[in-house]
Amino acid sequence: MEEVENVKKYDIDWQRLQLKVIGKGNKERTVYINAKAKVHIQKYLMARLDEEEALFVTERNPVKKLGRRSIEREFDKIEKTSGIKKSIYPHLIRHTMATHLLNSGADLGTVQAILGHEDASITQIYAQISNTNVEHEYRKHMIQ
């Protein structure tokens, strides 16, 4: 969540659809966005009338960057309005993305780099590969 708190507007590379984030241990890494996210982020920024450099800010004046508790409240709102019967929080989104990437065929090393993990065993804990995917990969590569 610290990455979301600290991202700045100028950290976004609109041409390459990526942004620079600072994670745990003050490590910098690149996060990628798609064209749809680009449109929504640009729309959000055009609606802002403040000079705050933070990407995500409070709605009330004085405008300042969203803190940890404010981010948690935003996730609570999403949970309530979505109708999903499961607690939604930033780490769940991260875990879901990693699992989706692996189940869609991304290799462990790529997912490890996306998540910013130094140790691949941590990535394996995040993203438990489904048996369906294991069977699919086996049949794809081993049965001719």
pLDDT at 121: 85
Q: What is the pTM assigned to this prediction?
A: 0.77
Q: What confidence score (pLDDT) does residue 135 get?
A: 74
Assigned superfamily of 1-70: Intergrase catalytic core (1.10.443.10)
Give me the mean pLDDT over the 87-112 stretch: 86
- Predicted pLDDT of residue 127: 55
For range 112-140, the mean pLDDT? 76
Cβ(28)–Cβ(21) below 8 Å? yes
- Under the banding of pLDDT at 50, 70 and 90, the label for residue 131 is low
Cα–Cα distance for residue pair 77/93, rounded to 1 Å: 15
All residues at 6 or more sequence positions from 125 whose CB lies less than 8 Å from its CB, including other chains: none
In the chain, DSSP finds a helix count (H) and a strand count (E) of: 7, 3
**Amino acid (one-letter) located at 2:** E
Distance, in Å, from the CA atom of 65 to the CA atom of 37, rounded to the nearest integer, reads 20
Beta bridge partners of 65: 57
pLDDT digits (tens, 9 = 90+) for 39-76: 999 999 999 999 999 999 998 899 999 999 999 999 99
CA distances from 129 to 9, 52, 64, 70, 126 (A): 35, 41, 40, 33, 10
**pLDDT value at residue 99:** 83
DSSP calls for 84-119: -SS---HHHHHHHHHHHHHHTT--HHHHHHHHT-SS
Q: Could you tell me which residue, 50 or 90, shows the higher pLDDT? A: 50
The β-bridge relationship of strands 28-32 and 12-13 is unpaired
Taking residues 81-110, report their average pLDDT: 86
**What is the reported pLDDT for 129?**
57
Residues of the chain with CATH 1.10.443.10: 1-70
